[in-house]
Structure 1
């Protein structure tokens, strides 16, 4: 009773509400949604484990944190919440940690027990699409709702723009570049890095396809209709199936495809690709570069030929062999 009078944000639910009040305007719509999902998982866990609708943040300890992490991956499941893989679970724990850190900074709790969690991400390979798969996705006939999702995906294939940045693009981001052609110019939300790249013809065609959407609009009107990341990835599975593409297709695959199939495999230098992706370190871009086996094959062809074991027909060599 004393604590409830002293702090109105003393429970998990009210703490997440406080976080949205203080940080919500700085976060994207999709990030705010993800914090809401994390809260749903937390409240579902305390209902199952502790038989309460909410939970006092001051008594959250290491055992609570570790059990909640296990719950995310399937432990104690008695609800319809989706089971997370370890990387997905860690994203929820990261959001939980940030909210609890806010409580610690406000001196509502003595320590942040989520910071003590010892777990590491699993390395995952994100596939890229080849040119044939991109062509199939580009040309398949689709209903309007799937067509919009496909257009956003293909635009990302030819620009490398991330989902977060895609949702913030407006007509102001289309500018005349130094070569007098149209360029895409924006600042990345994640890194704050300025990105500038010339628009390839397929990307321009998609922008022109939405002329009616832009007509009479202001310069700060979104470049494309908004589609949530969850719906985007759900619909992309349907698009891939209709296009006969068996590879895994998510929005991030488009960015990976730009980095590999569209640029690196066409001998665009790694440093240039890194700038177009808005990476702060070239080592981040090298994650994409490692899959470009065809480029390695071309680069090593001459050297391979030089060191190939060809028969030396010189007299001295022949005598030595005899």
Structure 2
């Protein structure tokens, strides 16, 4: 008796016996060693565009494109089922195929559940602000799914390159009322990066066979980092303000002369101010963002500002915050008003203090970029190069030495020829 060959085939067809109006349901028949298993694709489409030989729709209507996407997704799921069986060294027969295919591989099979899994697995190692950004990405994804597919959630294994590209386009205003953009190009890329990281969790757990987000090759726009020059700094320092705005201005200037970020300044206490090796006051802290230790001597303007806040810190009270910081949003609103009153025509934010420290305060005065990087608490010198611009004045000063050398060389050459 001949052994039956373990052949496999998967064929799609339109079930005409269930046609309603002009549309019929789409099915797939999996055959293994002569045994059949029919899969309902849960999708109906017009018979007119169906190409039985190619097993897909030949038209270009939105319905036919969606139907072809369903076919592609189902093919991927079938191949993934086979891959799982081979990985387990299980016999590939109809019974095993059907059990594996119909089994919910994970309770985290939808976007909502996968983001919840991410919060459980990775959330504890992330900063609260970063976790909030992942929540924003999740909300935007679910809003896109509702607009595009009329669904409240979406299967993770159904996400493909087209889904990712359309989500990216949606963030840029594609198919949105009034074509309003939800975010900038760089902001959209941040959401795509977070989606990629979450999808990598699904990939690592074998819930998907490939990460479709890896197929997106969009590039970020280079953004010029704003900073204040010396004249603009003087305007802000000297402008007459109401007391509440003056307090915000002084805290901003302290960050200008130290390069401290908003969150690190919020967390600063008296214990972060110490006497350094030169017997002057230094500021020591570990950056919340990177965990790197930062240590730098206080410049005279920073010391003067610090002394001005002594009344806020009663003597003997340990752990009291150095500064009465407002929320980041409230601080930035105040800074915009301060800039307006001072006649500074720039969109001033608290983070601009860091850029100003890197450029106007340090690099412009000849501080090596390696030292600036250490004071900013950057893990990479490349990051500092993004923040820090070499100003025209610094270029002029550096090139003047070279110009003088050439001038001397030319004058000596002329003298020798006379």
The alignment's TM-score, normalised by the length of structure 2, stands at: 0.66
Q: Which moved more, 1:302-311 or 1:56-65?
A: 302-311
Secondary structure of the 1:64 match is helix
Change (3 A) 1:5 1:220: farther
- Larger deviation, residues 254-263 vs 161-170: 161-170
Instruction: Check conservation: 1:42, 1:68, Cα contact below 8 A.
Output: yes
Classify the secondary structure of the residue corresponding to 2:363: helix
User: 2 CA distance for matches of 1:299 and 1:268?
Assistant: 13
Tell me the C-alpha RMSD between the 2 structures.
Answer: 3.2
Is 1:50 aligned to residue 146 of structure 2?
no
CA distance in 2, matches of 1:17, 1:96: 13
Distance in 2 between the 1:109 and 1:307 partners? 65
* Aligned residue in 2 for 1:297: 396
Larger strand fraction of residues:
2
Contact 1:41 1:81 in 2 (8 A): no
1:91 lines up with 2:175 in the alignment: no
Following superposition, the deviation at residue 192 of structure 1 comes to 3.6
Q: Contact 1:30–1:228 at 8 Å: present in 2 too?
A: no
- Contact preservation (8 Å) 2:364, 2:390: no
Distance, in Å, in 1 between the alignment partners of 2:367 and 2:179 is 47
1:133 aligned onto 2:232 = yes
- Residue 320 of structure 1 is matched in structure 2 by none
Alignment partners' CA distance in 2, 1:102 and 1:220: 40
Closer, same or farther in 2 for the Cα pair 1:315/1:72, shift >3 Å? Answer: closer
Q: Which residue of 1 aligns with 2:258?
A: 159
User: Which secondary structure does the structure 2 equivalent of 1:196 belong to?
Assistant: strand
Q: Deviations over 1:191-236 (max 9, x none)?
A: 4432110112333344444445544897455444555545544443
The corresponding residue for 1:68 is 167
C-alpha distance in 1 between matches for 2:316 and 2:153 = 45
C-alpha displacement of 1:167 = 4.0
Q: Give the Cα–Cα distance (whole angstroms) in 1 for the partners of residues 202 and 138 of structure 2.
A: 15
Of 188, 192, 203, the match for 1:104: 203
**77, 100, 114: which one aligns with 2:176:** 77
Instruction: Give, in whole Å, the separation in 2 of the partners of 1:209 and 1:29.
Output: 32
1:40 corresponds to 2:139? yes
Q: Which residue of 1 aligns with 2:119?
A: 20
Higher relative contact order (CA 8 A, sep 6+): 1
State the aligned residue count.
316
Residue 58 to residue 153, structure 1, CA distance change in 2 (3 Å): farther
Separation in 1, partners of 2:241, 2:181 = 29
1: CA distance between counterparts of 2:364 and 2:267? 29
What pairs up with 1:271-290 in 2 under 5 angstroms? Answer: 271-288=370-387, 290=389
Deviates more, 1:268-277 or 1:184-193: 184-193
2: CA distance between counterparts of 1:230 and 1:299? 39
2:222 aligns with: 123
Deviation string 1:98-142 (CA, Å, 9 cap, x unpaired) is 222223323333332222211121112113211221233234455
Aligned to 2:354: 255
- How much has 1:149 moved relative to structure 2? 4.5
Indicate conservation of the 8 Å contact 2:358/2:372, yes or no.
yes
- Structure 2 unmatched runs, 5+: 1-100
Larger relative helix fraction: 1
Question: Is contact 2:363-2:390 (8 Å) kept?
Answer: no
1:297–1:211 CA distance, 2 compared to 1 (3 A):
same
What SS does structure 1 have at the residue aligned with 2:285? strand
